[in-house]
Structure 1
């Protein structure tokens, strides 16, 4: 097993490797528990991480809870309409305040009944008026740095990341025509797969596996040979997955969707771990974060569409399709983790630029962030 320093040194060496000579990463990149712990601090506490779609909390008081590298979070739309990501830890003795998802005007800690408003301010603390010097104004739930981009909710735990939107300006020409801002949230789910978070990030972002892994689900729609890489930058990677000529139009789509955008999906990754597919009719997104172990990835995923509501007849068949190809990916990625633990595996060459160039972009991001010679 390589040390964290060894893995970082290997990442740093990738800057000297020509793209034409690119190989898959060493197994320890995915299987080292020590490196995962390092990633949590060096990447997930410092980068912008997507938590979900703003449509999941469409009205005042709507909320959901989650966690990120052990930090309990409360994602809520306030009475003022502002989306906030608050610490979900009571300011009294540290218990979790809210659980699950729903709608509330107050969040009351079940331990000692301290209650908080949707903006995080302490509303009530029983009997604390008997404590000399106690000041409710100093007991608000901390708010994390938050940015809404393309209706997605991003958080930066350490509050030091540069703004997100300017990083992604180069991506906009490839995705704005889909009119994603007019798509509503129609489905969400949470899951845990037995694979490393990077394995799923890479899998979502390469078209090489589409025809082999998804022979009956995606190959008839978006075969591997019709994938085309989009030039990315240090903050994202992307590719187009063109539809087979036999594929009928995928509807319903926005009336202003250009004709050429009706015949492909654009898949992109906002580093480190937000992966998305804008198809002509629906958006599929996955918010990925490390799980409890090196071979676990926690997934919050959902679908948004240009439909009147979540009960529109087109929603269920698309979610069914997503569940089918997700199950195929899950099977392959969980056996991948078994293979990566072999002492006899030597990383192979990456595929053509249009099929696996996105993987090389991801490696370069990791090298930039945590590589060290």
Structure 2
């Protein structure tokens, strides 16, 4: 392995995926710790691909909004007066203050600095004391629009005007799981947090279930067996695997009233990693997800949410089932935080080196291939 030490992180990445999967090792340490490599990721991945801003149903009414940062760019996502979800720059066209913060509801976008006021479509409605500036033209000062599409209930945003539509790019997800339509699920809980690990460590942690028996021994580890896990080949846009669950969490199984799911599909939990950073666990009864953005090499911003399928949500016991799953997932997150932060601390060690991958880590290798397809050597 030592011959790679003189290579740049990008060259190390390409060398890492140049070997076949059955000989593959975990990704080199520099890919997680290097500021230069993170800058390349921001430029070639986060500024180019589709990122998830959460679920469409959380912006239920015109004027409901959320804010996010994509590759350093402040973005507003809102439901406009026509009922459409759109995204735009979150920077005033006057002296460039950011406009909205967090989430909320507003009738107009008002700059906190000089009160320039924009409509929900981004057009400038009014600006006080500008009548003596001969170059001032309201029509030329709209907020720049950003691509935004709702795919299976997920709000997808991209700074790249040429990115392929999610509906086309991710058609394979619908083909893979035709009997679970994610647009029919409803988010019931959502929060944001920041962990002390690299975004890829957390993404890779989601992509493999090899860690479940140990890392999640206190929660879900016993509900799945390594010898029952299947890791098929993924696609250029996403990887996936599935786990067959026992009945220790009823909500993970098809609702008794559900007649469309048969056999193992009634107890199958799908784990979808939509590149670069939307990670969805989908069961017949509930979903949960992580949407990741880097915060420097050693920290990650996480949008976490969960929700239920329509038949379970309509169940009289829905609230009790939901509270149980919420408590479970809170514990699972604590376990994942511990494991992924330990990995990042280990990556900083001089004596550490990446080891060989298990057959249950095929998605991790495919993730490295995706990164290499985006980042030039």
Category of TM-score, reference length = shorter chain: over 0.9
2:121 maps to 119
Instruction: Determine if contact 1:59/1:81 at 8 Å carries over to the other structure.
Output: yes
1:336 to 330, 338, 343: 343
2:187 maps to 185
1:26 maps to 28
Residue 242 (structure 1) shift: 1.1
Residue 97 (structure 1) shift: 0.9
1:46 to 24, 45, 48: 48
Residue 246 (structure 1) shift: 6.2
1:318 to 306, 312, 325: 325
Residue 50 (structure 1) shift: 1.2
Q: Distance in 1 between matches of 2:110 and 2:270?
A: 42
After TM superposition, the structure 1 stretch with the greater mean CA deviation from structure 2, 60-69 or 249-258, is: 249-258
Please state if 1:266 is matched with 2:273. Answer: no
Residues 328-367 of structure 1 mapped to structure 2, 5 A cutoff: 328-352=335-359, 355-367=360-372
After TM superposition, the structure 1 stretch with the greater mean CA deviation from structure 2, 87-96 or 220-229, is: 220-229
1:150 maps to 152
Number of aligned residue pairs: give it. Answer: 368
1:298 maps to 301
Q: What secondary structure, in the 3-state scheme, does the structure 2 residue paired with 1:41 have?
A: helix
Residue 331 (structure 1) shift: 0.6
Instruction: Determine if contact 1:227/1:240 at 8 Å carries over to the other structure.
Output: yes
Q: Distance in 1 between matches of 2:253 and 2:231?
A: 24
Residue 34 (structure 1) shift: 1.7
Structure 1 residues 64, 257: closer, same or farther in 2, change over 3 A? farther
Q: What secondary structure, in the 3-state scheme, does the structure 1 residue paired with 2:136 have?
A: coil
Residue 269 (structure 1) shift: 0.8
2:289 maps to 285
2:93 maps to 91
1:188-240 CA distance string (max 9 Å, x none):
10000000000000001101001110012112223333221133111110001
Q: What secondary structure, in the 3-state scheme, does the structure 1 residue paired with 2:319 have?
A: coil
1:96-143 CA distance string (max 9 Å, x none):
111121111111111100111111111111122332242211111111
2:166 maps to 164
2:220 maps to 218
Structure 1 residues 245, 62: closer, same or farther in 2, change over 3 A? closer
Q: Distance in 2 between matches of 1:277 and 1:227?
A: 15
Q: Distance in 2 between matches of 1:62 and 1:222?
A: 39
Instruction: Determine if contact 2:10/2:31 at 8 Å carries over to the other structure.
Output: no
Aligned-residue Cα RMSD (Å) equals 2.2
2:59 to 48, 54, 57: 57
Structure 1 residues 258, 68: closer, same or farther in 2, change over 3 A? same
Q: Distance in 2 between matches of 1:257 and 1:30?
A: 43
Residue 319 (structure 1) shift: 1.5
1:128-172 CA distance string (max 9 Å, x none):
233224221111111111121111111111322122222222222
Q: Distance in 2 between matches of 1:40 and 1:3?
A: 23
Q: Distance in 2 between matches of 1:227 and 1:188?
A: 28
Instruction: Determine if contact 2:9/2:34 at 8 Å carries over to the other structure.
Output: no
Instruction: Determine if contact 1:276/1:284 at 8 Å carries over to the other structure.
Output: yes
1:255 maps to 258
Residue 313 (structure 1) shift: 3.1
Residue 173 (structure 1) shift: 2.7
Structure 1 residues 58, 4: closer, same or farther in 2, change over 3 A? farther
Mind listing any 5+ residue stretches in structure 1 that lack a counterpart? none
Residue 33 (structure 1) shift: 1.6
Q: Distance in 2 between matches of 1:244 and 1:6?
A: 46
Structure 1 residues 289, 247: closer, same or farther in 2, change over 3 A? closer
Mind listing any 5+ residue stretches in structure 2 that lack a counterpart? none
Q: Distance in 1 between matches of 2:8 and 2:314?
A: 52
Instruction: Determine if contact 1:116/1:122 at 8 Å carries over to the other structure.
Output: yes
TM-score by length of 2: 0.92
Instruction: Determine if contact 1:61/1:103 at 8 Å carries over to the other structure.
Output: yes
Q: What secondary structure, in the 3-state scheme, does the structure 1 residue paired with 2:231 have?
A: strand
